[in-house]
Structure 1
Amino acid sequence: MGTILRVSMLEGEAALGRIRASDVGHMLVDVERVFARAAAHFVAGRPGRGQGRRGRLIEEATHLRLVGLEEGSVVCVLQFPDAPPNGVSFDLGDVISLGETALTYAVSTATEGRRAYSDVAAALVQLANDIGVGSRCKAVALSIGDDRQPEVVIDAERRERLRLVAAPAPNPRADAITGTLVEADFERRTARLRTPLGQAIAVQFDPDIDDAIYELMRRTSKLRGEITYDPSTLQARAIRVRGLGKAEQMELATSEEDFWQAPRPFAELLHERGAAATVDLDALYIPTLTDEQRDELVKAADSGAI
C-alpha cells in the first residue's frame, strides 16, 4: 500500500458544506504540482535513462489518488502510487522510492530544512494562495501516514517565508552606476537616476550629501554605493549612495562644427597640415630592379635603414 498523505484546510470556511468545491480542486492539483517539482530534483541527479522515461516516472510517482474525505476541518486523504499502472515498464521500487523522496524534499522545503528548492517553495506558495490561506482558511497542513500530527503547517507567516525562498531578495553589491539624476525628494532623501539606456534606478542618500545631490541634478553623474540587482534580469534596481561625482566623458579632438562639416579636398588638407607636394608613385617605380633587389629594398625600408 502506498504512503498515505492527509492534506487539511484548517478553520475559517474549512468545513464540509461551507468550503467551495473549487478550493478543494485547487488544493489537489497544487499538491500534485508540489510533489512533481520535488521529484524532478531527485530525478535530475540520477544516471540518465532517457528524458521520456524520467518524465513518465515523475508523473506516475506523484499522481496521487483521493481515497477519502474526512470531516471537521476539510481533510483530503491521498495515497501515493503503490505500483505502476498496466503497460508502464517502471520498476516498482522506482515509483515508490521517488514518491517518498518527493514527499521528503517537499517537507524539507516547507520547513526550510537542509533541502529547500525555490520552485518547490513557489508551488507551496501557490497552494496557500489558491485555497485562501489567511482569508478563507487559517492554514493548510500536511500529515503523513496514520499519524494525524501535521508534518507541515503553512499559515500566512510561513507562506511569506516560503515566498522569500521562492524569490530570494537580491544582495546589494558595492559598485558604481552612471546616469542623470532627474528628480529628488530631500525630505525622504530619495531620488531617481535615469541611465543612458533609459532605465530608472531608485536612489537613497544620507543627509550629509544633500548639497552634492542638489548640485548634480539634471547632470550626468557617477553614483557609488550598494547597488541592488534584480535576480532574474541582473539589472540594477536601486542604489544606496555612499559617494558621487561627475561622470567622465570622452571628448573629440575636433570641435562639433568641424566634425559635422562636409569633407574637404585632399589637397586642401595636405596644405593645411604643411605637407609637401603630392608624390607621383609611378615615378618611384624602378623597372630595372630584380625581384631579389626589390625584396632587399623592402627589408631595408622595414628596418629603418633607409
Structure 2
Amino acid sequence: MGTRLVLRLAGERASLGQADAVDVARLMLGANAVMNRTASIIAGRQPGLRGPLPKGIAEAVRLQLHGISDGSLVLEFELPDSLDETHALDLDDTPLGEATALTALAVLEGSETGYSDTAAAWNQLASELDIGGRNESLTFIMPSHARPPAVLDRDARTRLAGTARSRERSDAAGERIGILCEADFERNSARLRSADGASVVVRFDDDQAASVKDTLRKKTRLQGHITYNERTSEVVAVDLIEILRADQLVLGLPVSDFWTTKTVHEFAEEQGVSPVSTIDELRDDTISEHEAKAFMDALGL
C-alpha cells in the first residue's frame, strides 16, 4: 500500500452537503500542485520551470482519491507504491512520493524553508480556498508517519506568502523585453516570453489591466520589480511598474533589428566571410601530423 495523505478542511460550511463543490475541486487541484512543485525540486528539475513533469516524477506523486467524508470536509489520498528501478531516484531509499509528501508537510509547518515554489503553491491554495475567511483552516495529515499534522490557517498563510515573495525580490526597478501572453485578468497575472523562448510571470494591478490587454501578443518592454530564483539567479517574476514602448530598446537597436532572425549564410555575407573549402584550412600549425590525424579520425573524416 502506498503513502496515505489526509486533508481536512474546516469552516462553517466545510462539511458534506454544505461545502461548495468548487472548493472540493480546488482542494484536489491545489494538493496536486503542491505535490508536483515539491517533487520537481526534489528530483532536481530547474526551479520555477512549468509545464508537464517527466513521466517518472508525475507517476510517483500521482494522488489517488480514496474517499471524501464528513466531520469537517475530509479528502483521503494515496500515493502509488514504489516505482520500478527505471524510475527510481537516490533519495536515501525513500520513495519520491513519500519524500515529496514529507517535504510538503515540513514547508507547511514552517520547518523547511528551502522550497519557495512549494510555499507559493500552498499560498495559492490558501487564497483559492479563502483560508481565514469562509474557510477556517486546512489540516494536512500523514497517518502512516509519526509527524504531527500541519495546519494551513491565517497565520500560516501569512508566513507562506512571505516565503513565496522572498525569492530575492529586487527593490530597484528592472526591465524585461518580450511578448506578453497568457493573461489571466481574474488573478492579474500574465507571462512574458523573451526572444530566447524563456518566460516569466508578470503580476499587475487592476489599474494596469487595460494596458496589459492592449499589449498582449506584441513585442514590448516592461519595467518592474524583478524576483529571482534564490538557487539559480534566474528571473521568475516581474511585479509590473510600467509598460514601455517596444522600440525603446537598449543599445540603440531598432526594434526590427532586435527581433530579426537571419540565416547563417546571411550573417556570413554581412560580415564578409566565406565557408572553408577544405578541412585543411582549419589546421592548427602547432599540432603534429599524428595529432591532426587522430583528431580527424575521431570526427570520422
TM-score, normalised via structure 1 length:
0.49
Name the structure 2 match of 1:177: none
Separation of aligned partners in 1, 2:135 and 2:103: 25
Displacement of 1:37 in angstroms is 0.8
Change in CA separation of 1:90 and 1:130 when aligned onto 2, cut-off 3 Å? same
Deviation at 1:132, TM superposition (A): 2.0
Q: What are the within-5 Å matches in structure 2 for residues 105-184 of structure 1?
A: 105-145=103-143, 151-168=149-166
SS, match of residue 8 in structure 1? strand
Amino acid at match of 1:100: E
Map of 2:81 onto structure 1: 82
Task: Name 2:283's counterpart in structure 1.
Answer: none
- The structure with the largest alpha-carbon Rg is 1
Cα offset, 1:78, TM superposition? 0.5
- The answer for the alignment partner of 1:231 in structure 2 is 227
Q: How does 1:183-198 map to 2 (within 5 A)?
A: none
Q: Which residue number in structure 1 is paired with residue 11 of structure 2?
A: 11
2:35 matches 1:56:
no
Taking the aligned partners of 2:167 and 2:90, their CA distance within structure 1 comes to 39
Encode CA deviations 1:226-258: one digit per residue, 9 max, x unaligned: xxx6535799999xxxxxxxxxxxxxxxxxxxx
Distance apart, 1:11 and its partner CA: 2.3
CA displacement 1:156-209 (0-9 Å, x = unmatched): 1210110010011868999xxxxxxxxxxxxxxxxxxxxxxxxxxxxxxxxxxx
Matching residue's letter, 2:81: D
Match of 1:247 in 2: none
Distance between the aligned counterparts of 2:239 and 2:70, measured in 1?
51
Contact kept in structure 1, 2:169 and 2:226, CA below 8 Å: no
Question: After TM superposition, what 4+ stretches of structure 1 lie above 4 angstroms from structure 2?
Answer: 91-96, 146-150, 169-174, 232-238
Query: Contact (CA 8 Å) 2:131, 2:137: kept in 1 or not?
Result: yes
Percent identity for Structure 1 against Structure 2: 27
Q: Which amino acid aligns with 1:24?
A: V
RMSD: 3.9
Residue type at the aligned position of 2:87: F
* Maintained 8 Å contact 2:6/2:75: yes
Q: CA deviation at 1:137?
A: 1.0
Residue 12 of structure 2 aligns to a residue in which SS? coil
Q: Which residue of 2 aligns with 1:30?
A: 30
Following the alignment from structure 1 to structure 2, what is the Cα–Cα distance between the partners of residues 8 and 170? Answer: 33
CA contact under 8 A between 1:139 and 1:156: conserved in structure 2?
yes
Q: Which amino acid aligns with 1:69?
A: I
Aligned length: 178
Structure 2 match to 1:245:
none
Distance in 2 (CA, whole Å) between partners of 1:27 and 1:144 is 16
Question: 3-state SS of the aligned residue for 2:111?
Answer: coil
How far, CA to CA, are the matches of 2:239 and 2:7 in structure 1? Answer: 41
Structure 2 vs 1, CA of residues 139 and 148 (structure 1 numbering), >3 Å: closer, same or farther?
farther
- Provide closer, same or farther for how the CA distance between residues 149 and 102 of structure 1 changes in structure 2, counting only shifts above 3 A: closer
Match of 1:102 in 2: 100
